[in-house]
Structure 1
Amino acid sequence: MKGLFTALIVSYDKDGEINEKGLREIIRYNVDVCKVDGLYVNGSTGENFMISTEEKKQIFRIVKDEVKDQVELIAQVGSINLKESIELAKYATDLGYGALSAVTPFYYKFDFEEIKHYYNEIINSVDNKMIIYSIPFLTGVNISLEQFAELFENEKIIGVKFTAGDFYLLERMRKTFPDKLLYAGFDEMLLSAAVLGVDGAIGSTFNVNGQRAREIYELANKGEIAKAREIQHETNDFITELLNNGLYQTLKEILKEKGVDAGYCRQPMKELSEEKVDTAKRIAATYF
């Protein structure tokens, strides 16, 4: 399960319904053009927290049907509805997903014992593996080194998607848990994480920028830091423009410029203005 995984974008039509044809085109672009090692399905980038349980199942099913066994698949099943998480864990496992992931339960101020119970309940309900999705700046949930050690007492919990800027904690985790999988979650910090020895990365910008991410990761692993730094600079120029214009909407516009029916974002996310669509086209022409 090592390598680069795209946090998969999902194509929705103007009414917010899943566009299966467009989703399949996004999948093919990631596998055939971006050449990623795997797909991380139904995460934040797929607008997961704005869709129903049945829609999540539909996306899991389409992705598996399109990919077959070409690349690795990780199913993000996390929810503050534990019953839904378990239902999705069973569904994705039955489909043949190689691993599960779950965001830390959010909104309510769950204590660590509640968080630990959540992860154990999900992964102990299936014959599969769990990757914790830690993204404190969105969830407000910080997990300490000692708490990660407690979670890892369950041997089915095999790693972490580490979407945080605490690189001291990341370094401590790499040293303390050499046999666990650590994935970088911030695309703009991929080089820094690679230098610390992560096992891969999971990124939203990999939907279009997967080839640069591959160069950064492989150059870092070969110790060619100066070359990797230049590509990270270029990547971060791209990411800065992307964030300024609207992250998910602009990624979809770039894919459209590449002939991919990437569709629209679900409300309450808004459509890009004509000016921002023009900016997205310029970004696509500049970087791709």
Structure 2
Amino acid sequence: MNGIFSALVVPFDEHGEIIEKGLREVVRHNIDVQQIDGLYVNGSTGENFLMNTEQKKQVFRIVQEESQGAITLIAQIGSLDIYEAIDLGIYARDLGYDSLSAVTPYYYPFSFEEIKNYYLTLVKETNHKMIIYSIPALTGVHMNMNQFDELLQEEQIIGVKYTAGDFFLLERLRQRYPNKMIFSGFDEMLIHGTVSGVDGAIGSTYNVNGRKARRIFELAQEGNVAEAYQLQHETNDLIESLLDIGIYQAIKGILREQGVQAGLCKAPLTPRHNVDTTTMQQLIKKHQL
């Protein structure tokens, strides 16, 4: 369970319903064109926190059907409703997902004991492997080494999706847990994570830039840091352009230009920014997407 994973985008129509045909096309694009190793399903990029439980299950089912065991699948089930998370975890496990993942509880000022109990409950009730999703910039949850120690001692907690800029903590995690999976979560810091010894990376932009991300990953692993840095510079130029437009809207806009029915974003996100086709085509040409 390593390599480049796309945090899967989900196409919605103007009423906020999932476009099944479009979702299947996005999955196929990731597998056939971007040649990713796996999909991280129902994460932030998939607008998970804007969906109801049935929509989340619909996404899990469609992705599993379309991928047909060709790639590794990780199901993000995190929710403030722990009973929903358990339900989703059992559902994804029974579909054959390779692992579960769950974002740390957010919004309320949870104690670490509450966070720890959340993960241990999910592992116990789903009886499946778990990857912690640590993204402190969005959740406000900053776990230290001792707290990670307490969680990673659990056998079925197999690793961390590490979306943070503290590379000292990342290095300490890697050194102490050589047999746990660590995924880099910041696309713009892929080279830094790879040099720090991560097992793979999970990112939004890999839906359209997965092949270049793989090249950065492989070059850095091989010790060709200067060449990898050049590709990271080029990638970050792309990321800046996508952020200026709106990251999810821009990724979907590029996919549409490439013939993939990527749909709209789900309200209250702006469904689609008014960026002309020419701009998108120029990005595709400039960055060889």
TM-score normalised over the length of structure 2: 0.98
Q: How does 1:1-288 map to 2 (within 5 A)?
A: 1-275=1-275, 278-287=278-287, 288=289
Distance in 2 of aligned mates of 1:285 and 1:13: 27
Distance in 2 of aligned mates of 1:118 and 1:276: 45
Distance in 2 of aligned mates of 1:272 and 1:84: 29
- The 3-state SS of whatever aligns with 1:121 is helix
Deviation of residue 187 (structure 1)?
0.3
Contact 1:159 1:180 in 2 (8 A): yes
Amino acid at match of 1:49: F
Contact 1:42 1:76 in 2 (8 A): yes
Deviation of residue 124 (structure 1)?
1.0
Deviation of residue 134 (structure 1)?
0.2
Amino acid at match of 1:246: G
Distance in 2 of aligned mates of 1:15 and 1:71: 31
- The 3-state SS of whatever aligns with 2:125 is coil
User: Root-mean-square deviation (CA), in Å?
Assistant: 1.0
- The 3-state SS of whatever aligns with 1:250 is helix
Amino acid at match of 1:3: G
Contact 2:257 2:277 in 1 (8 A): no
Contact 1:34 1:207 in 2 (8 A): yes
Distance in 1 of aligned mates of 2:137 and 2:275: 30
Deviation of residue 198 (structure 1)?
0.3
What do residues 54-83 of structure 1 show as CA deviations (whole Å, max 9, x unaligned)?
Answer: 100000000000011100000000001000
Contact 2:246 2:273 in 1 (8 A): no
Deviation of residue 128 (structure 1)?
1.4
- The 3-state SS of whatever aligns with 1:12 is coil
Deviation of residue 273 (structure 1)?
4.0
Distance in 2 of aligned mates of 1:276 and 1:123: 46
Contact 1:26 1:262 in 2 (8 A): yes
Deviation of residue 14 (structure 1)?
1.4
Distance in 2 of aligned mates of 1:175 and 1:154: 18
What do residues 75-112 of structure 1 show as CA deviations (whole Å, max 9, x unaligned)?
Answer: 00000100000000000000000000000000000000
Amino acid at match of 2:132: I
Distance in 2 of aligned mates of 1:245 and 1:228: 26
TM-score normalised over the length of structure 1: 0.98
Contact 2:249 2:273 in 1 (8 A): no
Amino acid at match of 2:165: G
- The 3-state SS of whatever aligns with 1:124 is helix
Deviation of residue 2 (structure 1)?
1.1
Contact 2:73 2:99 in 1 (8 A): yes
Amino acid at match of 2:45: T
Runs of at least 5 residues in structure 1 that lack an aligned partner in the other structure: none
Deviation of residue 272 (structure 1)?
3.6
What do residues 194-228 of structure 1 show as CA deviations (whole Å, max 9, x unaligned)?
Answer: 00100000000000000000000000010011110
Distance in 2 of aligned mates of 1:281 and 1:267: 26
- The 3-state SS of whatever aligns with 1:164 is coil
Alignment size in residue pairs? 288
Deviation of residue 276 (structure 1)?
5.6
- The 3-state SS of whatever aligns with 2:13 is coil
Amino acid at match of 2:141: V
What do residues 8-62 of structure 1 show as CA deviations (whole Å, max 9, x unaligned)?
Answer: 0001111110000000000000000000000000000000000000100000000
The alignment-based identity, stated in percent, is 56
Distance in 1 of aligned mates of 2:276 and 2:189: 26
Amino acid at match of 1:179: N
Distance in 1 of aligned mates of 2:92 and 2:23: 18
